[in-house]
Structure 1
Amino acid sequence: MIPSQHTITYSRVIHLSHVIDSNIPQWPGDPSIEFTTIAKLPQDGYYLRRFSLGEHSATHINAPNSFHSSGVGIDQYSPQSLVVPGIVIDIRETTAINPDYALTIADVLAWEEQYGTISPRSVVLLNTGWQSKWWDENAFFNRDAQGIMHFPGFSGDATRFLLDERQIAGVGIDTHGVDPGKDNSFATNSLVLEEARIVLENLTNLDQLPAKGTTLIIGILRLRDGSGSPAAVLALVP
């Protein structure tokens, strides 16, 4: 049988991944990002560095085994699963007032009233405006006096609705977690990854995407049994 063919048309390609350096915001307890020069042009004839960072550092994708002991590692994601439609829900007006805001089912239905029902296999990207805080770690994590982080995310109810009723391929966000910062239950991560779908965190340039019609290409490091991977995410914009 001849496999089905898919055609993707686009006018622009946009990076949705931050540049990686040693000064980017790091989740508490994550290993530091380090670059070590191994070879130099004058002495060795070529330039080479070694780098070290956590599997959930920078713009990254989480794997099921990061939240479920029986889950697969990032190396088990098929290539087909990493080329997916993307839709963007913009909640910047709300998060500017309430940094703890969590996307609701009502928000999803309001988006659909304007743009149509979310197609199956889409990745739902949440534009919270947090990408503008990336180079200010204090603002990005927004900790209070008790050390609790305050940034927006997906609610458990909205996540379950999107998985069950819209059969989405996954979720993504411009904060350091698809779960709101003050929620340490990681409910959204757990729900999405229980079904081996996609979780993208620390995205950028979501403000450059249309609400619908984008194709995402998610580049991963195929780390054996990896709990996730830094990700090069490209958006093909029609």
Structure 2
Amino acid sequence: MHLKTFLPLAPLLALALGTAAHAEDPGLWKVYNDTFKSAKYVDLTHTITPNIPVWIGFGNSTFAPAKAGADIEGYAKKGDVFTYAAHGFEATNYTLQTDQLGTQLDPPAHWAPEYPAIDELPATYTIRPLVVINIEPQVQKDYGYALQVSDITAFEAEYGQIPEGSVVFVRSGWSKDWPNPDLAKRTPFPGVSLDALKFLHLERHILFHGHEPLDTDATPTLEGEYWLMHNGFAQAEGVANLDKVPPVGALVAIGFPKFGGGLGGYARYIAICPPDWQYGVSVGEVAEAPLPKSDKPLAFDENLGMRVRQ
């Protein structure tokens, strides 16, 4: 076709090409619609309440209804508790004794100030391949059992080599007694050996590992945690529901508050599992927007020290 013949058709061709281009989702939207929308989501995070297990050196946190911190003319006086009836909203005052609370992400600055704090961790931590190594059978025989290199190589013999840059969570069953406060005092407890940590980081080059207990190991000097932090590695603690995710094939989404100079992080880990996985929920299976209305409104319970549905 001669160019002059083609020119009158150009606007129609451009429209057709534009329609075809828009028929396919742009960028990563296609990945979401093809993969993440139908995936199964499993929460690996404990709920923070005033009485969850915490190291005795930190002590318990407290929740209370928020109060006005200053006089607000025609609205509230300093010290007034904000209420739905008087102010149209309520809020909570959290007195958190530590940033080492509940499900956590420990940056290396927790032990080594020359390494990054929680706000200095890169955004690339957001989503990673998830590996879950199960040592529950060993722990049932020896509650103080720690993950060994032999456990890792046995895992790889069955499932393949642990991918570089992945997150490795160690399933021990420790969290099944959560939120019993006595958990924090129970020792020894299931851990991760120093040799296993070195293997995972120096041989497999993982991003970080995580475990169910609130410490890495039960050695007198916490040798595993010391080595991690002083070599620039982060770790997850207090992880939950690892029996609800597959050993391989899932991803983990990682979220945490960005406290300036923070030495620990209240974290939320969500496992993103294949659509045919037996646990979890998919987009569209639960109400999201609008969220469901409850016939039991939240109210502050003085005995529990927190808001609950009554």
Same fold (TM > 0.5): yes
The one-letter code matched in structure 1 to 2:223 is A
Q: SS of the residue aligned with 1:183?
A: coil
2: CA distance between counterparts of 1:128 and 1:23?
Answer: 22
Alignment length (residue pairs): 227
Report the counterpart of residue 253 of structure 2 in structure 1.
217
- Please say if 1:44 is aligned against 2:87: yes
Superposed displacement of residue 32, structure 1: 1.9
Report the counterpart of residue 197 of structure 1 in structure 2.
233
- Please say if 1:66 is aligned against 2:78: no
Preserved contact between residue 142 and residue 150 of structure 1 (Cα < 8 Å): no
Report the counterpart of residue 233 of structure 1 in structure 2.
269
| CA RMSD after TM alignment | 1.8
Gaps of 5+ in 2: 1-26, 67-81, 275-310
The one-letter code matched in structure 2 to 1:196 is G
- Please say if 1:165 is aligned against 2:203: yes
- Please say if 1:134 is aligned against 2:162: no
With a CA cutoff of 8 Å and minimum separation of 6, indicate the structure with the bigger relative contact order: 1
Identity %: 27
The one-letter code matched in structure 2 to 1:155 is S
Higher mean alpha-carbon deviation, 111-120 vs 40-49, is at: 40-49
2: CA distance between counterparts of 1:104 and 1:20?
Answer: 31
Alignment equivalent of 2:133, drawn from 89, 99, 102 = 89
TM-score by length of 2: 0.69
Superposed displacement of residue 200, structure 1: 0.7
The one-letter code matched in structure 2 to 1:235 is A
Report the counterpart of residue 18 of structure 1 in structure 2.
46
Superposed displacement of residue 218, structure 1: 1.2
Superposed displacement of residue 198, structure 1: 3.0
Gaps of 5+ in 1: 144-148
Report the counterpart of residue 174 of structure 1 in structure 2.
212
Report the counterpart of residue 163 of structure 2 in structure 1.
119
Pair 1:73–1:150, CA change in 2 (3 A): same
The one-letter code matched in structure 2 to 1:232 is R
TM-score by length of 1: 0.89
Q: SS of the residue aligned with 1:86?
A: strand
Alignment equivalent of 1:99, drawn from 143, 166, 172 = 143
1: CA distance between counterparts of 2:179 and 2:28?
Answer: 41
Q: Find the structure with the greater CA-based Rg.
A: 2
Higher strand share: 1
Superposed displacement of residue 114, structure 1: 0.2
Superposed displacement of residue 216, structure 1: 1.0
Report the counterpart of residue 30 of structure 1 in structure 2.
58
The one-letter code matched in structure 1 to 2:85 is P
Pair 1:126–1:189, CA change in 2 (3 A): same
Report the counterpart of residue 153 of structure 1 in structure 2.
191
Preserved contact between residue 51 and residue 60 of structure 2 (Cα < 8 Å): no
Superposed displacement of residue 5, structure 1: 6.6
Superposed displacement of residue 153, structure 1: 0.9
Preserved contact between residue 126 and residue 255 of structure 2 (Cα < 8 Å): yes
Superposed displacement of residue 142, structure 1: 5.4
The one-letter code matched in structure 1 to 2:91 is L
